[in-house]
Amino acid sequence: MKTRIIKIALLSIFAFSYILLAKDDRISKFFEKCSNNQGLTYVNFTPTPALIEGMKDKIQDQEALEMLKNINSVIVLSTKNKSGVNNTSKSVDINVIYNDALKSLPIDEFEKFLELREGNKEVKMLYKNSKEKSKAREFLMIAKEGDDLSIIWVEGLIDLKNLSKLSKTLGKGFK
């Protein structure tokens, strides 16, 4: 009888763990699916301690450097390249990808940070709370304007007040 109860308990734990992992994996699956699309720019950045150490000379803002140390990964999907030239080809339908993102990504699990609709521009900034005040453990941005689309997912301990500093820091680090 005890053996049977233990087996049922273990099976329940494994099943529950699988359900949780499958639910949270929707973001990774979405980006993986889109990463091979030739009309999109895909960037997957994982700041390792060695990389952060190498970027110290280029990063002037100490708060941004500390924030970068707490980031696990940054994934970007975009229709623009660095030069600002649109990568969109006839094979990429921005509206299809945008609508797929809204359906595929677990937006309902995030809290709204900002939502903007103006003309043909739509921006959603979402986050998941962490245990620390004014910090998030995940940040998701979905932005569409005309033929431009950007989807950004940041995972780690994110100070929402200094999120723009992280963006500027990452831009400087790759020049």
Q: Let me know if residue 51 belongs to a domain.
A: yes
Q: Let me know if residue 53 belongs to a domain.
A: yes
Q: Let me know if residue 15 belongs to a domain.
A: no
Q: Look at residues 96, 99, 147, 97 and name the one whose alpha carbon lies nearest to residue 121.
A: 147
Q: What are phi and psi of 37, to 5 degrees?
A: -75, 120
Q: Let me know if residue 18 belongs to a domain.
A: no
Q: Let me know if residue 3 belongs to a domain.
A: no
Least confident window among 51-60, 92-101, 123-132, 138-147? 51-60
Asked if the model's pLDDT at residue 101 lies above 70, the reply is yes
Q: Let me know if residue 59 belongs to a domain.
A: yes
Q: In what side-by-side order are the strands of the sheet with 135-145?
A: 41-45, 71-78, 148-159, 135-145, 121-129, 111-118
Total tally of structural domains belonging to the chain: 1
Structure tokens at 46: 């994982």
Q: Let me know if residue 93 belongs to a domain.
A: yes
Domain residues for the domain of 122 are 26-173
Asked if the model's pLDDT at residue 122 lies above 90, the reply is yes
Q: Let me know if residue 55 belongs to a domain.
A: yes
| pLDDT tens per residue across span 46-91 | 888 877 777 777 777 777 777 788 888 889 999 864 444 444 444 5
Q: Look at residues 34, 150, 139 and name the one whose alpha carbon lies nearest to residue 84.
A: 150
